[in-house]
Structures are given as C-alpha cells and as structure tokens.
A and B are shown apart, each in its own frame.
Chain A
Amino acid sequence: KQEVTQIPAALSVPEGENLVLNCSFTDSAIYNLQWFRQDPGKGLTSLLLIQSSQREQTSGRLNASLDKSSGRSTLYIAASQPGDSATYLCAVSTSGSRLTFGEGTQLTVNP
C-alpha cells in the first residue's frame, strides 16, 4: 500500500526566505507526482506535475524535484511571499489512476 509522508507538518518563515518542503513515498512504482496548494476551506490548486521519467519541473518561483528510486520529492519555493501562505500537498499516482496524498505542510510566510 502506497504511503506518502510530508515533512515538516508546519513551517513559519519570514518573507523573502527560500524554503524546501519534503515529500516521501513508500512505493517507487509511480506514474507521476503532483504538488498542490490548498487555501483554508478551499479546493486544491495544481502547482506542478512531474512524470515518473522526469527529474524536475519549474514554474515561476517554484521548483519540484523527483528522485523515484529513493522515493522522495522536494518543492522549493524561492523568495517566499505572504501570499504563499497555504497548505502544500504532495500526491503520487500509482495503479488505477488514484492519487495518494500526504497530510500536507502548512506554510506561513510572515511579512
């Protein structure tokens, strides 16, 4: 059974800091890994999708890496802003197309 773990559970940083969120998964036989953002009481917004054959994806200030063999992914956020405050969720797709999610990292960026 696939299990996804995200560390840390919560993170508070001053504005402008670069930060890294971590995600690990137990079954390396994945099709892809996706990072999402969730604002309180809202749905999920897709940030980055990394296919199993890829090593990283970039979008603006966000960079996600994937090391499938070790079962790890990181989300790097450069020059953090208060508007980045949200919960960040990592999810992997294995068989059957379902996504298995971690419990998320709650990020607070202080002005």
Chain B
Amino acid sequence: DTGVSQNPRHKITKRGQNVTFRCDPISEHNRLYWYRQTLGQGPEFLTYFQNEAQLEKSRLLSDRFSAERPKGSFSTLEIQRTEQGDSAMYLCASSSGVGDSGSAFFGQGTRLTVV
C-alpha cells in the first residue's frame, strides 16, 4: 500500500457544475477525514468517517456538499452547483487510531478551480 490516494489531482470546472472527488485511504485504516485548504491557510476540517458511518460534519459543509464512504473503504466528496468560493485544495486523510492516538496520513489533495 502506497498511502492515501486522491483523484483527480486537479479539477477545473465552470461555476454551477457538479464535481466529485475520490479518496482511497490506507487499507487498514478505519478513519477517514476530509479537509479543505485555501492559499496561505492551514487545512480546515470538513467531515469524518469511522468505517462507513459519517460521525462528524463541520458547519463549513453546506448542503451543496455531500460525502459518502460506502462499505467503509474509499470515500467520495461531491460539490453541487459549484461557486468560485469553493476553489481550494481538498485533502483526504486516514488514520487507525485507538481513541485519538493514531497519526493522520494525508493524500496529495485535489486542487479545485472554479471559473
């Protein structure tokens, strides 16, 4: 296993279009996280899955955003009716922590540009 994989690496879309990103976590990790990062800022938490259950969602995750993790393996993040403010790097991370003891491992991110 080579780590957390995200696809696509880059996405350019027109305002109003829907986009979907995919994250494949490290295979033995049961926890999966999505973060968003804008230029010059640290990543901001969006949502968290333990296995297939979505346990926490940030207020940043508006109703245009939806995330799934069917069967507790890969995850998808969909943004509907994209806006220019959605332009950012979307990062996925996974961990296998007992409690909160595990390190989080991040993918290379998907850079979204909304034009």
- What is the interface residue range for chain B against chain A? 20 to 34
Partner of B42, one of A45, A49, A102: A102
Partner of B107, one of A36, A43, A89, A104: A43
A31 touches B105 (CB 8 A): no
Q: Is A93 an interface residue (CB 8 A)?
A: yes
B103 touches A46 (CB 8 A): yes
Q: Is B108 an interface residue (CB 8 A)?
A: yes
- Contact residues in A for B104 (Cβ distance below 8 Å): 34, 46, 91, 99
- Contact residues in A for B43 (Cβ distance below 8 Å): 44, 89, 91, 99, 101
- The A-contacting residues of B in range 21-53, CB under 8 angstroms, are 31, 33, 35, 40-45, 48, 50
Q: Is A61 an interface residue (CB 8 A)?
A: no
> Interface residues, chain B, CB within 8 Å of chain A?
4, 6, 31, 33, 35, 40-45, 48, 50, 55-56, 58, 91, 93, 95, 97, 99-101, 103-109, 111
> Interface residues, chain A, CB within 8 Å of chain B?
4, 31-32, 34, 36, 41-46, 49, 51, 89, 91, 93, 96-104
